[in-house]
């Protein structure tokens, strides 16, 4: 077995606790969630307690998981729904779970699989990417990926295969440069020694490439790969192989796109791990101007470069932030992006990195962001609304914003090194190197 320890990494004692923990895990590490939930579950032992919680107190308890206002809203909303419609219990049906606030198919399948023992395919960015590379699907829409894998894999293995794919995607088949040389599936994988995921090779691609063509035996090899990962004891390789072949013929041609909200671009986002835009609290007070760094952040609603919600800039409070102003035509911006992406990864528990693309071609910005695998949320400012109030001569400019929404510092021009960025993070926001 490749990942014998692969399992749900969230701590929970009942379905409600797993549901809450999974909601908290969005844009946050499982380790951070597990640090928060003991006190949370002590304070709120059941759905009624969560529904009746004092919002300020609940927000404070989950603050360090990030996006705490939106998460608190969802938790109170779903708890209220559980009390009103399900007698305070978490339903064990997918159709019912996805009607709860903040609960999508991914969260629902985690709860079904680990709290109720009902097999479910959980499709996150890792599962989709690895499945495409292995040739199990050519789809990029998570629901369609889920459907392909449900046809391909034995139902009892759905939950564990999902977890194995997540672990494999995090540790070996990573987004940008899969470690094929170390991969136990390399001899079986049609994408070995080169990412062939439609969405990953595209600095200039406007339309996804077709999934890799496989020899007639490729599907059988892919099925064997499934069982290398999952250590399943038996499989009907012929049947599964035919199903893989069927899905391979359904791949989308992918039309040329220009809009960041075009469904075809979802492939880029999913494969590159571009983070969804943060949900912001529209009731928050605007960030105040402070002295030498020049004006405060204006109250602006900016469209997400990916498929997330619009972002109200003034409402992003509660987590320290780096706000990076960039454009895809700006070479220094592109040169520093890996440093920002590394900072986002190193400090995912304590820092939000938000890119603002200041140009009128959000489609090309999304292409580039995905190709660079920046992995942090990015929004678009096609109307140039942000440049004038912030007195930005030209990108790149990066603002250091503390948890109270105060701009503590500003970097004009690109960070020359990772170290330079780390020093400013420490100086302005008190965030020390990971
Ligand atoms: S061989 Fe490479 S592309 Fe295929 S699963 Fe392994 S790491 Fe991923």
Over the stretch 43-89, which tens digit does the pLDDT of each residue have? 999 999 999 999 999 999 998 887 788 889 889 999 999 999 999 99
Name the pLDDT band for 143 (thresholds 50, 70, 90): confident
**114-128, 272-286, 369-383: lowest mean pLDDT where?**
272-286
Output the pLDDT for position 318.
Answer: 67
Best residue for ligand 1 mutational test, from 128, 130, 187 (most atoms within 8 Å of Cβ): 130
Which residues form ligand 1's pocket by a CB distance below 6 Å? 130, 133-134, 172-173, 178-180, 183, 185-186, 189, 191-192
**Which of 145-149, 161-165, 275-279 has the largest mean confidence?**
145-149
Model confidence at 308, pLDDT cuts 50, 70, 90, reads low
CA 131 to centroid of ligand 1, rounded, Å? 10
Question: Alpha-carbon distance 101 to 72, whole Å?
Answer: 11
CA of 210 to the centre of ligand 1 (A): 17
The token pair at 371 is: 């190709």
Ligand 1 atom closest to Cα of residue 178: 7
List, in sequence order, every residue forming a beta bridge with 325; answer none if it has no partner.
356, 397
**Catalytic residue set:** 106, 124
State the closest ligand 1 atom to the C-alpha of 225, by its place in the atom list counted from 1.
5
> Which candidate, 146, 127, 139, places its Cα nearest to that of 252?
139
Q: What is the pLDDT of residue 253?
A: 27
- Domains of the chain plus CATH, in order, are 15-115 (1.10.340.30), 125-248 (1.10.1670.10), 274-429 (3.40.30.10)
Q: Which of 152-166, 242-256, 332-346, 363-377 has the lowest mean pLDDT?
A: 242-256
Tell me what the mean pLDDT of segment 106-112 comes to.
89
Q: Which atom of ligand 1 is nearest to the CA of 188?
A: 1
Rounded Cα–Cα distance for residues 273 and 399 (Å): 23
Examine the pLDDT at 246 and tell me if it is beyond 80: no
- Going by alpha carbons, the residue nearest to atom 8 of ligand 1 is 173
- At residue 260 the predicted structure's pLDDT band, cuts being 50, 70 and 90, is very low
pTM of structure: 0.49
DSSP structural state of residue 324: E
* CA–CA dist 406, 416 (Å, integer): 25
Of 356, 253, 365, 372, the closest CA to residue 310 belongs to 356
Average pLDDT for 306-322: 72
- Cα distance between the two ends of the chain: 32
**Do residues 290 and 407 lie in contact, with contact meaning Cβ atoms separated by under 8 Å?**
yes
- The pLDDT value recorded for residue 389 is 67
User: How is residue 130 written in tokens?
Assistant: 């690895």
Q: What is the pLDDT of residue 289?
A: 41
Which whole number is the average pLDDT over 386-415?
Answer: 79
For the residues 129-133, what does the mean pLDDT come to? 90
With 0-12 / 13-18 / 19 or more C-beta atoms within 10 angstroms meaning exposed / middle / buried, residue 204 is exposed
- Name beta bridge partners: 322: 353, 400
Rounded Cα distance between 154 and 341, Å, is 37
Question: What pLDDT is attached to residue 431?
Answer: 87
């Amino acid at each position: 077995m490749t990942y014998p320890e692969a399992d749900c990494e969230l701590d929970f004692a009942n379905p409600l606790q797993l549901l809450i923990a999974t909601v908290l895990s969005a844009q946050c590490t499982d380790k951070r969630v597990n640090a928060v939930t003991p006190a949370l579950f002590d304070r709120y032992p059941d759905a009624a307690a969560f529904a009746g919680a004092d919002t300020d107190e609940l927000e404070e308890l989950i603050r360090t998981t990030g996006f705490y206002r939106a998460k608190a809203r969802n938790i109170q909303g779903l708890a209220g729904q559980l009390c009103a419609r399900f007698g305070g219990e978490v339903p064990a049906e997918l159709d019912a779970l996805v009607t709860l606030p903040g609960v999508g198919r991914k969260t629902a399948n985690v709860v079904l699989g680990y709290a109720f023992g009902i097999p479910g395919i959980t499709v996150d960015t890792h599962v989709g990417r690895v499945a495409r590379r292995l040739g199990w699907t050519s789809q990029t829409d998570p629901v369609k990926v889920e459907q392909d894998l449900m046809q391909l894999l034995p139902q009892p293995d759905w939950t564990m295969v999902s977890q194995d794919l997540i672990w494999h995607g995090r540790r070996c088949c990573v987004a940008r440069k899969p470690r094929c040389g170390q991969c136990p599936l390399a001899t079986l994988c049609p994408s070995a020694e080169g990412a062939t995921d439609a969405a990953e090779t595209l600095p200039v691609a406007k339309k996804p490439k077709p999934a890799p063509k496989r020899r007639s035996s490729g599907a059988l090899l892919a099925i064997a790969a499934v069982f290398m990962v999952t250590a399943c004891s038996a499989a009907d390789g012929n049947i599964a192989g035919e199903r893989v072949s069927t899905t391979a013929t359904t791949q989308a041609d992918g039309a040329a796109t220009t809009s960041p909200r075009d469904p075809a671009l979802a492939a880029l986002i999913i494969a590159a791990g571009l983070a969804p835009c943060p949900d912001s609290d529209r009731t928050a007070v605007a960030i105040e101007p402070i002295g030498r760094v020049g004006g405060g952040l204006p109250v602006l609603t900016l469209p997400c470069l990916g498929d997330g919600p619009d972002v109200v800039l003034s409402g992003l409070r509660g987590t320290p932030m780096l706000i990076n102003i960039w454009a895809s035509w700006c070479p220094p911006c592109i040169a520093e992006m890996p440093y920002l992406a590394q900072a986002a990864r190193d400090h995912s528990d304590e820092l939000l990195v938000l890119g603002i693309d200041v140009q009128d071609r959000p489609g090309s910005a999304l292409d580039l962001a995905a190709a660079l695998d920046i992995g942090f949320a990015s929004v678009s400012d096609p109307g140039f609304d942000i440049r004038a109030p912030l007195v930005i001569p030209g990108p790149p400019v990066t603002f250091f914003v503390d948890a109270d929404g105060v701009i503590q510092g500003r970097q004009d021009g690109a960070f020359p090194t990772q170290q330079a960025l780390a020093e400013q993070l420490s100086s302005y926001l008190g965030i020390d190197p990971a």
